Amino acid sequence: MGILDIVPAGVVVGDDLRKLFEYAREHKFAIPAINCTSTSTINAALEAARDIKSPIIIQFSNGGAAYIAGKGLSNKNQEASVIGAVAGAQYVRAVAKAYGIPVVIHSDHCAKKLLPWFDGMIAADEEYFKANGVPLFSSHMLDLSEESKEENIEICLKYLKRMAPMGCLLEMEIGITGGEEDGVNNEDVDNAALYTQPEDIWEIYEAFSKVTDLFSIAAAFGNVHGVYAPGNVRLHPELLGDHQAHVAKKLGNGEQTKPVFFVFHGGSGSTEQDIATAVSNGVVKMNVDTDTQWAYWIGLKNYYEDKKEYLQTQVGNPEGPSKPNKKYYDPRVFIREAEKTMIKRVQQACKDLGNVDRL
Ligand SMILES: [Zn+2]
């Protein structure tokens, strides 16, 4: 039985989203969440997944969403980020079904200071729900990992109670996912903050599951944001297995040995083995951003280098001084080259996660 026997093609929310993640967890694969900043990158992600018969997650970051609305718009009070995320989600809703695959629309990291962005997207979900019976987005991510655990859980619960009745999933983060900007010393593997404890996972699971089962957890297991030289990232994805066992034991019903939906943040540059271990321990979603950005760029770079002599003037190239170059500098031509290399990289991410031939 494939995914399309369980959920329909197009944007999935609510029960269908839970079924999709359950299917992934059961069959030990994860779905990549591709950060998109334009219709071009959205289309590349959708095309990539369609051509290898797999579901995909389209994800908008706060900055990516503002970019969709336009760099010329003010982002005072998160206005551009709200407008851009909503416009991006509406665009995905308009085209997703035509690609014939299940698509999840998700918003990425939202820290406490960005909550007006979150509020704006939830308001759009509620408005869409009133008219259509489903939320605009499939899911949202709230990152309050910099706050105390108590505050993190409290604010998440507040939003969870608004999102659950619409069938909108909440992804939360606990523990610190290190990053370049945080100045984390990745060799300090004993830093307990980089590794979420099983008790914390249970505390979240217990509190959230009283409201809904539509939630996922990004736990810290030594992950870092951005790309690091090989060997600098010391992941311990086996810890996720310990978390699952702890929650299953607490639940004590013997039904589900992996009750938690885990999400993998900061996975760029991790080994195949680490990814496989994470996925076998219930990771159903992995964020992909840095590597697809590079892939998008490299396609354009190669195109320019290959066609350089046709891209210096509007008229005139090695074939003659009056030969037009329009077909070389048409954005549909050079942007397409960026899309082609991004498509390949998205498909690579899918392969790494076992997200191939799943329909
Ligand atoms: Zn994160």
Q: What are phi and psi of 209, to 5 degrees?
A: -70, -10
User: DSSP strand E in 67-138: where?
Assistant: 102-107
pLDDT of residue 267: 80
Distance, CA 173 to ligand 1 centroid (Å)? 6
Distance, CA 6 to ligand 1 centroid (Å)? 29
Distance, CA 144 to ligand 1 centroid (Å)? 10
Distance, CA 171 to ligand 1 centroid (Å)? 10
Distance, CA 242 to ligand 1 centroid (Å)? 20
Domain with 255, as residue range(s), is 3-353
Claim: this prediction has a pTM higher than 0.75: yes
Low-confidence residues in the chain, pLDDT < 50: 180-190
Cα–Cα dist 235/271, whole Å: 9
Q: Distance of CA 169 to CAs 142, 208, 316, Å?
A: 11, 11, 55
Cα–Cα dist 168/166, whole Å: 6
Cα–Cα dist 260/257, whole Å: 9
Specify the CATH number for the domain of residue 47.
Answer: 3.20.20.70
Distance, CA 175 to ligand 1 centroid (Å)? 9
Tell me whether residue 107 is in a domain.
yes
Q: How far is CA 105 from the centre of its chain?
A: 9
Cα–Cα dist 207/230, whole Å: 38
pLDDT of residue 38: 98
Decide: 180 and 225 in contact? Cβ < 8 Å.
Answer: yes
pLDDT of residue 189: 41
**Which residues, in sequence order, are CB contacts of 264 under 8 Å at separation 6+?**
30, 218, 223, 237, 275, 278, 283, 285, 286, 287
What 3-state class would DSSP assign to 304? helix
Tell me whether residue 156 is in a domain.
yes
Decide: 106 and 138 in contact? Cβ < 8 Å.
Answer: yes
Q: Distance of CA 203 to CAs 48, 210, 308, Å?
A: 38, 11, 58
Distance, CA 59 to ligand 1 centroid (Å)? 13
Cα–Cα–Cα angle for 251, 138, 11, rounded to 5 degrees: 125
User: DSSP strand E in 201-346: where?
Assistant: 215-219, 224-225, 262-264, 283-288, 315-317, 320-324
Q: Is residue 213 annotated as a catalytic residue, yes or no? A: no
Tell me whether residue 359 is in a domain.
no
pLDDT of residue 183: 42
Tell me whether residue 112 is in a domain.
yes
Candidate list 5, 16, 51, 108, residue with the active-site label: 108
Decide: 239 and 223 in contact? Cβ < 8 Å.
Answer: no
pLDDT of residue 186: 43
Distance, CA 217 to ligand 1 centroid (Å)? 10
Q: Say how many CA atoms lie within 13 Å of 203 toward its Cβ.
A: 15
Distance, CA 143 to ligand 1 centroid (Å)? 7
Total number of domains constituting the chain: 1
Cα–Cα–Cα angle for 68, 144, 161, rounded to 5 degrees: 85
What's the DSSP call for residue 322?
E
